Structure 1
Amino acid sequence: MTTALFSEVGKPEVRAATKIYKFDFGSGSVEPGYIGVSATMAYNRSQGYGFNTPENMKNVTGQDTGMASDAVQFVTVGTKSNNTFNVDLPNGLYEVKVTLGKTGRTSIAAEGVYQIINMMGDSAVDKFQIPITDGQLNILATEGKGAAYTLSALEISKISHRAVTRRTIYIGGDSTVCNYYPLVNSVQGGWGQFLSQFIDGNTFQVRNMASEGQIARGFRDDGQLEAILKYARSGDYVILQLGINDSNLKNEETEAEFKEIMRDMIIQIKSKGATVILSTPQGRATDFNSNNVHTAENRWYRPAILALAKEENVPLIDLNVLSSAYFTSRGPEATLALYMTKDYLHPNRSGATELARLVAEDLANKELDGFN
């Protein structure tokens, strides 16, 4: 276990074969095996870690025990902010595990783009893989919803000397797709949260970039697509499921506008060599007709999605139809049990898992490379 970062030549090195860097943020006690980092600790080359602009950081209390009993708050935020925590690292591929402090909702950015979207709740935990090619990780907690963007702990593990991620399935979408926290036992779920359960983890990693309330224009323009474009390459897949919020009049996005924004994203993703897969959203729990058949085919700009898949020659997961067939087989009462209580749009953990299974089965049926 690494407990110090230093080198005689001024560059950090890991003194143990495990190549793990552990940081415990805040002004309180430091957990065994971790490096204590106060908000006042400035980066310097000989130390190999610290805050780039400590004047824009502050120590805050946490909501839990141990390393989550205290945290640091990023006062200046934004994916392009230079108010980052910097760690010198040998180039390679790393897994970064993040533990938040006391917060409502916080996103994690690194290398100038989002890495995790909207981690929710105190002491939330998640992780991501990132290639380091310039000898340094630059990471910060930034906008979600709320005001306190905090970090309690960081664990960085080297996976490979090669600064290349394995093949990735990126997911873009809304509240029916996104992650909910705690990841291991959240009540609500989005199908993107559970897709990895049905995918060969030796072939793919899954990166869920979906967020609640999202529309096509927002996904394209507000940083989520940018994060995908930074890393996507040949052999990767990008699944896009939008349309629910786009069709809401308050978002002022017509079906024609929605279609062209989606087309623009398809073109940009294709330019990176990745394969785009479009998905239609599932219906509501209550979309049963008098014959107890579930149908929601006219909802949420589905015609535009079907047309676009054909025009741009990209695979289509018609989750709308697939889920309706599944819900019909279960019946109205059992289908209600797959959704949040008195919420007929958002699946619970069980419902999201079933939707993820349907997505994975359809991917396999399409005989796309990498899917069994």
Structure 2
Amino acid sequence: MKQTFLAAALAVSCPTLTAQAQPAKGAALKFDFGPGKAAPGYKQVLPTAAYSAAAGFGFDFGTAVTGTDLGGKDALKGDFVASDKPFYFSADVPEGNYNVTVTMGDLKGASSSSLRAESRRLLQQKTETAPGKFFTQTFTVNVKSREISPGTEVQLKPRELTKLDWDNKLTLEFNGSRTCLSAVEISPAPASTVTVFLAGNSTVVNQEEEPWASWGQMIPRFFKPGVAIANHAESGLSLGSFLGSKRLDKVLSVMKPGDYLFVEFGHNDQKEKGPNDGAYNSYTERMRLFVQETKKKGGIPVILTSTSRRSFGPDGKISNSLGDYPAAARKVAQEEGVALIDLTAMTMQLYEAIGVEESKKAFVHYPANTYPGQTQDLADNTHFNPYGAFEIAKCVVEGIKANKLGLVKFLRNDTPAFDPTKPDALANWNWPESPRAAIAKPDGN
């Protein structure tokens, strides 16, 4: 049965792959925001520049800004656009990894903003500048396409068809009490850029709408330029449906030697009840397939056990709601000789440290009428809100350190050590909400 299953899985998941994808080549896109004279080599972006396919860039999704010109010798910093509400800026780019350099600030006033890319991927937390001071930072951002080869595409769910992660644009979300944006430069990242591909379910995916969030969209915040996070996870998926929708095909088609594949599944796999399903049957065999196919491409597989559900017992301890799946993942990692990040163990510690009632504040537990159209309480013990997702991303970072992965050298200098038994205080958490919100629960549980 094992040989038959693997042969069938390979036939589904690994057709002839396209040549290794390279980052897009071409000149950088350089944008100078505001009504003043544009800096040499930069394209001026006025406050009225709404995105259109014809222009290929602009302020997107009906968001608006104002413009200010303070003059001065520095054309790039003498003018800016500003808003006290979230706004989006998009530019058309092909699939690839990009270095995005953002300059924010005001010669005469204070500014405060955060930065996210595409479907709410966190790049920069709340950053404030004093009058005359500017924040300039470079981030590496992945832009993906559903095409695998001519005529072959990733099979997206209906909810994915409108996600910012799957369009032909690179979209930046600026969100703060006073964003003052002076410049954005988008350039193809060097070929040496390391891509970290994420394969997983709703606990990993880039959740596009408030109040939902997952660790995969928080992890970019911890990396310097040189590492791009390519999140191919999707809500409701198991290892089998990830394969069947050609997502592993897509990852392998653009993977290059030295790239990583982080794999976290289990929540939905445990619901599959076919004759060959189970932790030590199809789940184990498929996990091995992911590992072996990644190794064939020269990639580095990393297995993560599933995040625990918030499943407290009467003793105030988290009970196991994942069956044998975490143990099976650990077994595959050991036998295949690959790194293991035990998120099951770390998240159990995390929730217990926060406490039975307080831990609800790391999940989507909100009273009725918190969001438009929400007439009943939201009470979800699997899916995280941004605070919970951020804490779990910190657990993943600790797993990267513990395994001494090459990614450690790319961690940002402001990445502190984290102990899941000593979580960050919710009172210190800052997350200005994105404009898009939905009360519909993501697929899977």
User: TM-score scaled to structure 1, two decimals?
Assistant: 0.61
Q: By how many angstroms is 1:218 displaced?
A: 1.5
Structure 2 counterpart of 1:351: 388
| Residue pair 2:27, 2:187 contacting (<8 A) in 1 also | no
| Residue pair 1:317, 1:362 contacting (<8 A) in 2 also | yes
Identify the range of structure 1 (225-234 vs 188-197) with the bigger mean alpha-carbon deviation.
225-234
Q: Which amino acid aligns with 1:326?
A: L
Structure 1 counterpart of 2:309: 284
Map 1:137-156 → 2, pairs under 5 A: 143-145=156-158, 154=169
Map 1:105-184 → 2, pairs under 5 A: 129=142, 143-145=156-158, 154=169, 159-160=187-188, 164=191, 166-182=193-209
Q: Which has the higher contact order (CA 8 A, sep 6+)?
A: 2
Provide the rounded CA distance (Å) in 1 between the counterparts of 2:335 and 2:282.
Answer: 16
Give the percent of matched residue pairs that are identical in Structure 1 and Structure 2.
22
Q: Which amino acid aligns with 2:220?
A: S
| Residue pair 1:95, 1:130 contacting (<8 A) in 2 also | no
SS in 2 for 1:247: helix
| Residue pair 1:278, 1:314 contacting (<8 A) in 2 also | yes
- 1:264 partnered with 2:289: yes
Q: By how many angstroms is 1:345 displaced?
A: 1.3
Deviation readout 1:41-70 (Å, 9 max, x if unpaired)? xxxxxxxx9xxxxxxxxxxxx97467xxxx
Deviation readout 1:279-306 (Å, 9 max, x if unpaired)? 1112221x22333222427536122111
- When residues 261 and 21 of structure 1 are mapped into structure 2, their CA distance, relative to the original with a 3 A threshold, is farther
User: TM-score scaled to structure 2, two decimals?
Assistant: 0.52
Q: Which amino acid aligns with 1:228?
A: V
SS in 2 for 1:277: strand
Deviation readout 1:151-205 (Å, 9 max, x if unpaired)? 998459752485x2611211111011111115xxx3111111101223x222411
- 1:209 partnered with 2:229: no
Q: Which amino acid aligns with 2:157?
A: G
Map 1:1-372 → 2, pairs under 5 A: 32=49, 36-37=53-54, 64=62, 94=98, 129=142, 143-145=156-158, 154=169, 159-160=187-188, 164=191, 166-182=193-209, 186-198=210-222, 200-249=223-272, 253-255=277-279, 256-285=281-310, 287-296=311-320, 299=323, 301-341=325-365, 342-371=379-408
Provide the rounded CA distance (Å) in 2 between the counterparts of 1:18 and 1:339.
Answer: 48
Provide the rounded CA distance (Å) in 2 between the counterparts of 1:363 and 1:327.
Answer: 21
- When residues 338 and 37 of structure 1 are mapped into structure 2, their CA distance, relative to the original with a 3 A threshold, is same
SS in 2 for 1:235: coil
Provide the rounded CA distance (Å) in 1 between the counterparts of 2:361 and 2:339.
Answer: 31
Q: By how many angstroms is 1:149 displaced?
A: 5.4
SS in 2 for 1:344: strand
Q: Which runs of 5+ in 1 are unaligned?
A: 1-11, 23-30, 39-48, 50-61, 67-86, 97-115, 121-126, 133-137
Provide the rounded CA distance (Å) in 1 between the counterparts of 2:252 and 2:339.
Answer: 19
Provide the rounded CA distance (Å) in 2 between the counterparts of 1:292 and 1:63.
Answer: 45
- When residues 218 and 335 of structure 1 are mapped into structure 2, their CA distance, relative to the original with a 3 A threshold, is same
Matched residue pairs, number?
274
Identify the range of structure 1 (261-270 vs 165-174) with the bigger mean alpha-carbon deviation.
165-174
- When residues 20 and 33 of structure 1 are mapped into structure 2, their CA distance, relative to the original with a 3 A threshold, is farther
- When residues 267 and 312 of structure 1 are mapped into structure 2, their CA distance, relative to the original with a 3 A threshold, is same
Provide the rounded CA distance (Å) in 2 between the counterparts of 1:191 and 1:150.
Answer: 18
| Residue pair 1:306, 1:316 contacting (<8 A) in 2 also | yes
| Residue pair 2:154, 2:245 contacting (<8 A) in 1 also | no
Provide the rounded CA distance (Å) in 2 between the counterparts of 1:94 and 1:142.
Answer: 25
| Residue pair 1:244, 1:300 contacting (<8 A) in 2 also | no
| Residue pair 2:304, 2:340 contacting (<8 A) in 1 also | yes
Q: Which runs of 5+ in 2 are unaligned?
A: 1-25, 31-38, 65-91, 101-116, 121-139, 146-150, 172-184, 366-378, 410-445
Q: Which amino acid aligns with 2:158?
A: K
Q: By how many angstroms is 1:223 displaced?
A: 2.2
Provide the rounded CA distance (Å) in 1 between the counterparts of 2:299 and 2:40.
Answer: 33
